[in-house]
Structure 1
Amino acid sequence: MLFAFGALFLLLRFLSTAARRGPYDAAAPKALSRFGWFSLLGGPVCVLVEVVSLSSSSSSFGLTVDWAEEWGARFPEWSAAAGLAALAFAYILRVGVADRLGGEQRLGRTGTR
């Protein structure tokens, strides 16, 4: 639950930054990159913590649960895919920001169009 709220918060931060400053501002790729890393790493870590706690509490009742097998079965592919997609799009935006800034410097422009 905490992971979902964190991911939604970071996604809303990216969307508000992109709406306020534009998608080709330097802050937009950074915000999307934060969401991507959080989603890519946070989802599997949250599931791992859940599975290890389930395994340790089950062992106190005499049940055996293989945490590695359970983690493999519950691995959040959607979280990893969303994180990788966000990181790829953040890279594309970062290249667009650099290209836009480079083009304005070559043309001698300092403001926006």
Structure 2
Amino acid sequence: MTEQRKMLEPLLGVVSVALRVVIGVAVLGFVLSLFVDDIHFGGLGRSVCVTSDGMSADGAGMDTVFGPKAGVDVSSVPRYCTTDPSAGQKLLQAAGTLPPVILALGGLWLLNRLLQGAAREGVYTARTASRLRVLGWWTLVGGLVAAAAQAASQAALLATLAAADGASPGNVWDVPLLSPLVGLGLLTFARIVRAGTAMREDIEATI
């Protein structure tokens, strides 16, 4: 095992195995969904559901059912479901379900590509810095796009399942904080790696 590969372990091995497992499970799930009725690829089943976070209800009936302790109130958030969804409703559900999955799979693939390349070519190289920058932009922009897609699809899907004045999507867009911070951190480290690469090249040229 080279020094570069030793430096990147155990993350290199974990990411490589995780990527293979995820791809295997995804392929297996897709194949089984074609032949088994109770298996639905990507969590997209026969029913379509959405939660209305903008409204809630409470009352004595809920206290009886859920049994809270003294001084504790129980509220319920409605969840709208249909077992006979239209093609448009299925598309809206997919638009909210698939972006986070694509973001995670793409990020895992880019991270594996980064680590494998760094193990072969070295950590302080222009290619490693470039791959690190790509991963940073994917995490930063992809996290925001996935959150926006989920919010828009949830609001649109709710509009197809509830009366115009019967439900409110509420604050459906939970602005992600972790992915932008991680993305900015990766972009910063990309600049550090690029600077280190330039310093190493200057030293080698001097020697």
Q: TM-score, normalised by structure 2?
A: 0.48
Task: Provide the residue aligned with 2:120 in structure 1.
Answer: 20
> Which structure's residues are more often strand, by fraction?
2
Task: Give the paired residue count.
Answer: 103
Q: Deviations over 1:11-51 (max 9, x none)?
A: 11111111111101211000010000000010111111011
Aligned pair 1:33/2:133, yes or no? yes
Instruction: State the alpha-carbon separation in 2 of the partners of residues 16 and 34 from structure 1.
Output: 15
The structure that has the greater radius of gyration is: 2
Contact 2:154 2:172 in 1 (8 A): no
Task: Provide the residue aligned with 1:111 in structure 2.
Answer: none
Which 5+ residue runs of structure 2 have no aligned equivalent? 1-100
How far 1:104 moved relative to its partner?
1.8
Aligned pair 1:70/2:172, yes or no? yes
Task: Provide the residue aligned with 1:110 in structure 2.
Answer: none
Instruction: State the alpha-carbon separation in 2 of the partners of residues 21 and 76 from structure 1.
Output: 34
Task: Provide the residue aligned with 2:194 in structure 1.
Answer: 94
* Residue aligned with 1:70, SS: coil
> Which structure's residues are more often helix, by fraction?
1
How far 1:106 moved relative to its partner?
2.8
Instruction: State the alpha-carbon separation in 2 of the partners of residues 78 and 7 from structure 1.
Output: 14
Instruction: State the alpha-carbon separation in 2 of the partners of residues 49 and 17 from structure 1.
Output: 32
Task: Provide the residue aligned with 1:10 in structure 2.
Answer: 110
Moved more, 55-64 or 22-31: 55-64
Task: Provide the residue aligned with 1:47 in structure 2.
Answer: 147
Q: Which of structures 1 and 2 has the larger relative contact order (alpha carbons within 8 angstroms, sep 6+)?
A: 1
Contact 2:143 2:179 in 1 (8 A): yes
Contact 2:118 2:128 in 1 (8 A): yes
How far 1:100 moved relative to its partner?
1.0
- Equivalent of 2:204 in 96, 104, 107: 104
Q: TM-score, normalised by structure 1?
A: 0.84
